[in-house]
Amino acid sequence: MELRTLRYFVAVAEERHFGRAAARLTMTQPPLSRAIRHLERELGAALLVRSPTGVALTPAGTILLDEARDLLDRADRARVRVAAVAGTATITVGILGDATDAGPLRLAAAYRARHPDVTVRVRDADLADPTCGLRAGLVDVALTRAPFDETGLAVRELRSDPVGAVLRDDDPLAGRDHLELADLAGRRWFQFPEGTDPAWRSYWNGGEPREGPVVRVVQECRQAVLWNGTVGVSPLGHEPPEGLALVPLTDMEPSRVVVAWRHGDTDPLVRSFVESASAAYRAGG
């Protein structure tokens, strides 16, 4: 059995769906299906029960999932331990987000427990670059939010957060229990600098061209609202500071927390980071 094929099987088993597993592995579905069928022939056992809605594990598949996870983890740990002895076990992580989000805190603890000898360098990114320096080669992996241009990148969703409008607490709309984007027509919104990813700019402006002050960091967004009455947008889980209100936007797509890395990257530290991120965010609901 090849480790690569075992990774394919684990992805299918965890996603319970070939299409989602193929997207997670950044490959097409036909070669993934062929690899799993080859693995079943090699082992002489059916591993999955296929249906139009997805797949389920057979008893043999359940056993293999446990064994495959253990084998893959041991293989990655072996490579990391060798790199640590050689002094090359370093990963640079780009992070874009609010410091109050518990997700990165859980992830840091889990990754440190799994790789105590690895040096983790963290790059705090501003809002002008949703890839946190990944596309520029400044980081190995990014913990960020979508949408952005994913060309050449692999992206896995970790969580989906409803969003709301950030307003001054004396704004006439601040007392509403919800808003729609049409309620904010004609208002000034914060802007990101020229050259910022178009998909990213469009999302945080509610899909419409807007005018307003240019900001680069979360605190500047909040200050633009507080001082100028600008409209901001924030995930609902982020408690606004004193003087501001956060009102749910019912017709705006949720903000997706994602982990992103360069397509085809085989670094076990990056792979372990992605898996640790998925587990940490699942544990946090």
106 with 218, same domain: the answer is: no
Write down the pLDDT at residue 155.
93
The sign of the dihedral angle between the CA atoms of 40, 46, 51, 57 is negative
93 with 80, same domain: the answer is: no
The residue range of the domain holding 230 is: 163-253
Strand intervals (E) in 52-196: 54-57, 90-95, 119-124, 141-146, 153-161, 163-168
Write down the pLDDT at residue 61.
94
188 with 143, same domain: the answer is: no
246 with 168, same domain: the answer is: yes
Mark which of 87, 120, 147 sits at the end of a domain. Answer: 87
Structural domain count, the chain: 3
Mark which of 31, 56, 87 sits at the end of a domain. Answer: 87
Q: What is the largest CA-CA distance in the chain?
A: 69
Q: Tokens for 258?
A: 């994602």
100 with 137, same domain: the answer is: yes
Query: How would you write the pLDDT of the chain (285 residues) with one tens digit per residue?
Result: 888 899 899 999 988 999 989 988 878 999 999 999 999 999 999 999 999 888 999 999 999 999 998 888 888 777 777 766 666 678 999 998 665 678 888 899 988 888 888 889 999 999 999 999 999 899 999 999 999 999 889 999 999 999 999 999 999 999 999 999 999 999 999 999 989 999 999 999 999 889 999 999 888 988 999 999 999 999 997 778 899 999 999 999 999 999 999 987 878 889 889 988 988 888 776
100 with 227, same domain: the answer is: no
User: If residue 246 lies in a helix (H) or strand (E), which one and from where to where?
Assistant: strand 244-248
Provide the pairing of β-strand 153-161 with 163-168. unpaired
150 with 259, same domain: the answer is: yes
124 with 148, same domain: the answer is: yes
110 with 50, same domain: the answer is: no
- Alpha helix segments (H runs only) across 44-173: 59-86, 102-114
70 with 10, same domain: the answer is: yes
106 with 235, same domain: the answer is: no
List residues bridging with 161 in a β-sheet: 255
